[in-house]
Amino acid sequence: MDTLVLGHREVRALLPMAECVDVMAAAFATLARGDAVLPLRSATALPDRRGFLGLMPSYLGEPRALGVKVVTVFPGNLGTPYESHQGAILLFETENGRLLAVVDAGTVTEIRTAAVSGLATRLLARPDASTLAILGSGTQAGVHLEAMRAVRPIREVRVWSRTEAHGRAFAARHGVSFAPTAREAVEGADIVCTVTGAQAPILEGEWLAPGAHVNAVGASVPPYRELDSAAVARSRLFVDRRESALNEAEDVRVPIREGRIGEDHIAGELGDLLLGRVAGRSGPHEITLFKSLGLAVEDLAAAHHVYAQARARGAGSSLEITGERHG
């Protein structure tokens, strides 16, 4: 059997946002049941730390899948023709280890990241949450707008950007309001999504309205950080994975080092919520926070879904890398 190659057009067509939210829910439930293998990701930084190469291997028992994402992350690509995340997901079958597919990692990462925030919002935000604040105006701002609209009745959107021209252009392109300051975007919002490349906090806890839900997404490796310690301390905190958050998330690690919170401030993982092991929002006035880092099982589940859909629909192109014996 040939290896299937699936580029960004195929991924976009085969991984619609609402569908991806459900795919992510299934992946997190599998992880929480212990039917997955998920090492911490490894990264090789360039000497000037302008970018790095990341390796994210994983295994899922349901659906049975094995793979690795190989991706470069160059935050400085904002304003260039290139995305910040570029690479490929290699999807293998689990009987003989054949390479089934090479899938565009940039597009998968784009969609699944927002879909996981959509899942967290579906689990934690108030059912009537309708006012959305987005801090950031890059690729993730656009897909988070789509994801939030997929899970909540969004009626008002306010966007702020560290670069005013980018924020105003995003607001005009998407038909939403531009906020001159982050505080003006956040105050009174039901849902807040932080999707910046900031290395110092751009969201302060005192701005958050009672009952707000926050998706903190942009800071995935040290030294990046988007939330001040007060925002974390005020919130009921959930993560994609506890081990990853304690090792990689400065939004969590800094308040712990400062003594503002302990490790037990993490109420649970998304999988715990899905399996009913922990309670989510306790009432309409509680502030909830989901700290997203991005897990290899998310990429693997999304790539497996895209591959299955491509096989069913005859999409993609073939590459002769069979792994069969010759001679």
Q: Is residue 250 part of a domain?
A: yes
CA distances from 5 to 10, 23, 103, 298 (A): 9, 21, 6, 19
Supply the CATH number for residue 58's domain: 3.30.1780.10
Q: What is the pLDDT of residues 85-111, one digit of tens each?
A: 799 999 999 999 999 999 999 999 999
In this prediction, residue 73 carries a pLDDT of: 86
**200 and 278: one domain?**
yes
Residues 134 and 276 in one domain: yes
pLDDT digits (tens, 9 = 90+) for 14-31: 999 999 999 999 999 999
Residue 41 domain-assigned (yes or no) = yes
Report d(CA 31, CA 119) in Å as an integer.
15
CATH number at residue 243: 3.40.50.720
pLDDT in tens, the chain (327 residues): 689 999 999 999 999 999 999 999 999 999 999 999 999 889 899 999 899 999 999 999 999 999 999 999 888 887 788 888 799 999 999 999 999 999 999 999 999 999 999 999 999 999 999 999 999 999 999 999 999 999 999 999 999 999 999 999 999 999 999 999 999 999 999 999 999 989 999 999 999 999 999 999 999 888 899 999 999 999 999 999 999 999 999 999 999 999 999 999 999 999 999 999 999 999 999 999 999 999 999 999 999 999 999 999 999 999 887 566 555
**Cα 232 from Cα 145, distance rounded (Å):** 23
CB 242 within 8 A of CB 262: no
Q: Which residues of 229-262 are buried (b: 16+ CB within 10 A; e: fewer)?
A: bbbbbbbbbbbbbeebbeebbbbbbbbbeeeebe
The per-residue pLDDT for 322 is 59
132 and 253 share a domain? yes
Closest CA to 268 of 302, 285, 293, 291: 291
Residues 6+ apart with CB under 8 A from 276: none
pLDDT of residue 221: 82
115 assigned to some structural domain: no
272 and 278 in contact (C-beta within 8 Å)? yes
Based on the domain organization, do 264 and 127 belong to the same domain?
yes
Q: Is residue 236 part of a domain?
A: yes
Residue 74 in domain = yes
Structural domain contains residue 20: yes
- The answer to whether 157 and 174 have CB atoms below 8 angstroms apart is yes
- Indicate if 16 and 65 belong to the same structural domain: yes
The strand pair at 85-92 and 64-73 is best described as antiparallel
Same domain, 96 and 133: no
Examine the domain organization and report whether 186 and 274 are in the same domain. yes
Q: Is the pTM of this model over 0.85?
A: yes
In a domain, 225, yes or no: yes
Same domain, 164 and 259: yes
C-alpha distance from residue 207 to each of 96, 214, 269 (Å)? 54, 12, 25
Asked whether the beta carbons of 222 and 194 are under 8 A apart, the reply is no
Residues 207 and 305 both lie in one domain: no
Q: How many domains does the chain have?
A: 2
Whole-number pLDDT of residue 77: 86
Cα(13)–Cα(125) distance, integer angstroms = 28
Whether residues 146 and 185 share a domain: the answer is: yes
Q: 270 and 152 in one domain?
A: yes
20/78 same-domain check: yes
pLDDT digits (tens, 9 = 90+) for 106-127: 999 999 999 999 999 999 999 9
Q: In this structure, is residue 326 part of a structural domain?
A: no
- Structural domain including 79 reads 3-109+296-319
Look at residue 14 in the predicted model and tell me its pLDDT: 98
Report which of 63, 104, 130, 37 is spatially closest to residue 304, judged by C-alpha positions.
63
